[in-house]
C-alpha cells in the first residue's frame, strides 16, 4: 500500500494575480442570477447576459491621484427583434477607495445591471490617455 498522498484530480488552477480577484465576490451575488457567465480573471471582469456581454478592464491608478481604480466598460448588445444590431457602448468610471471594497463592488454591480440595456443618455468617454495607463502600469 502506497502511503504517499496524491494531488487531487480535476481541481482547477487558482489565479491570484490582478485586480479582478478583489472583485470576485460579485460572482455569487444574487443580483447577477440572470447572468449566463461571470468571471473575474487577472484584470478583466466578464459578465454575459442573454442580451448583453459586458467586459470591464481594471487598472490601478497611481497613489498620488484621488482614486484608486479605473474601470473601462464595454457592453455589446445583441440584436433583439426589429431593432437589429446596436453599436457597442464604451465608458469609463474611476472608483475611489480601496480596490475591491464593498462600496466599489456595489458600484460595479449597479453599473453592470444598468448596462444590460442601452441607455441613450449615458455619457461616453474616450479611452484613457496612454500616459495615464503607463503611469498605472508602472506601479
Q: Domain residues of the chain, as ranges?
A: 20-117+124-137
Mean pLDDT of 89-107: 88
How far is 13 from 60, CA to CA, in rounded Å?
24
Mean pLDDT of 109-123: 74
pLDDT for residue 35: 92
Contact 121, 54 (CB under 8 A): no
pLDDT for residue 22: 85
Each residue of 38-67: pLDDT tens digit?
A: 999 889 999 999 989 999 999 988 877 666
More confident residue, 136 or 38: 38
* Distances, alpha carbon 62 to alpha carbons 66, 94, 136, in Å: 9, 12, 5
Amino acid at each position: 500500500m502506497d502511503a504517499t498522498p496524491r494531488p487531487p484530480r480535476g481541481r482547477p488552477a487558482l489565479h491570484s494575480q490582478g485586480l479582478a480577484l478583489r472583485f470576485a465576490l460579485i460572482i455569487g451575488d444574487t443580483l447577477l442570477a440572470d447572468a449566463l457567465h461571470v468571471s473575474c480573471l487577472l484584470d478583466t471582469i466578464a459578465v454575459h447576459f442573454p442580451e448583453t456581454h459586458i467586459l470591464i478592464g481594471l487598472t490601478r491608478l497611481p497613489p498620488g491621484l484621488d482614486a484608486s481604480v479605473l474601470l473601462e466598460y464595454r457592453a455589446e448588445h445583441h440584436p433583439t427583434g426589429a431593432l437589429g444590431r446596436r453599436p457597442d457602448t464604451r465608458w469609463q468610471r474611476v472608483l475611489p477607495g480601496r480596490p475591491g471594497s464593498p462600496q466599489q463592488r456595489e458600484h460595479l454591480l449597479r453599473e453592470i445591471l444598468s448596462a444590460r440595456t442601452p441607455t441613450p443618455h449615458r455619457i461616453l468617454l474616450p479611452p484613457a490617455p496612454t500616459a495615464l495607463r503607463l503611469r498605472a502600469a508602472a506601479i
